[in-house]
Structure 1
Amino acid sequence: MIEIERKFLVLSNAFIDEAFEKKRIVQGYISTVPERTVRVRIKADKGYITIKGESTNNGTTRLEWEREISLADAEALLSICESGTIDKIRHEVKVGNHIYEVDVFSGENEGLIMAEIELQSENEAFEKPHWLGKEVTNDERFYNAYLSKNPFKTWKD
């Protein structure tokens, strides 16, 4: 139930040709409180509910509990979520022994492309592809819960 992940901005669309999977994700939040974020997600044609705990100081590790739910339940729960929905296309790209999940955001977060990699330990070595940019793991502005309330298009910097 522990998630260890690092996040990076993406420099170019070069990853698209390397992707082996591509799915649309729509998600909303029942709670965006950092100590217990509750997310409802539709990924392709499946529903999920996820509870995440607060991240460690470096932003890499936190408790994560996720269960698949029916698509009908996910749609019903999305209707009662806090305002602000995340809409993105996720591309899965194998690099070395790892899989990067590269999210191309649309809607109010259009223009943002971010990659995440899940690790077995905080110090695990991993290959960085040429299209990977600045690390934003510890920058809360790049958490999806934050983006749902403060869309990328509204940022001034």
Structure 2
Amino acid sequence: MAQEIERKFLVKGDFKPEAYQSIRITQGYLSSVPERTVRVRIKGEQGFLTIKGKGNHSGISRYEWEKEITLNEAEELLQLCEPGVIDKIRYLVKSGKHTFEVDEFHGENEGLVMAEIELETENENFTKPAWLDKEVTGDNRYYNAMLTKYPYTKW
């Protein structure tokens, strides 16, 4: 079973000069219940179907399964998704031996900028860039599936 070990942080300041790549992401959810989310994503010109399980007590680890699908399949599946779409630009930023995925949200989540880092273990050390702010790992409001239902601009 594939485990995703991830920590999430809010972002303050300008991270963009450090980014080495960016890509537009659009995604929706076929299921957004906490026990399992089923996500359809278009990342650039690629489609993906992802299933994630409920997180552990800390919210850092959870089951994740992902499969690439055709762009056409992803576009069709997005039509079946629950209301609410995530529209964001993802920037990749190196920090030490890790890469942060920094998401700048648009649409109903405009103004939200969040960074995620994937780790090998829950207690793994990593270099924290100056633009990293408050940790929000385990705060359900910041899960993309929740942002489709309760957008950031309406908090």
1:110 maps to 110
2:137 maps to 137
Q: How does 1:55-134 map to 2 (within 5 A)?
A: 55-134=55-134
Deviations 1:9-34 (A, max 9, x none): 0012x210100110000000000011
Uncovered stretches (5+) of structure 2, i.e. residues with no partner: none
- RMSD, aligned CA: 0.4
Letter in 2 for 1:10: V
> Taking every aligned residue pair, what percent have the same amino acid on both sides?
61
List 4+ stretches of structure 1 deviating above 2 A: none
Q: TM-score, length-normalised on structure 1?
A: 0.97
Distance in 2, Cα, partners of 1:138 & 1:81:
24
1:146 maps to 146
Distance in 2, Cα, partners of 1:59 & 1:36:
14
1:8 maps to 9
Aligned residue for 1:122, secondary structure, equals coil
Shift of 1:129: 0.2
Aligned residue for 1:76, secondary structure, equals helix
Deviations 1:64-85 (A, max 9, x none): 0000000000000000100000
Aligned residue for 1:32, secondary structure, equals strand
Distance in 2, Cα, partners of 1:153 & 1:7:
19
Distance in 1, Cα, partners of 2:142 & 2:57:
15
Q: How does 1:21-40 map to 2 (within 5 A)?
A: 21-40=21-40
Shift of 1:90: 0.1
Uncovered stretches (5+) of structure 1, i.e. residues with no partner: none
Aligned residue for 2:15, secondary structure, equals helix
Q: TM-score, length-normalised on structure 2?
A: 0.99
Distance in 2, Cα, partners of 1:142 & 1:128:
20
Distance in 1, Cα, partners of 2:36 & 2:55:
10
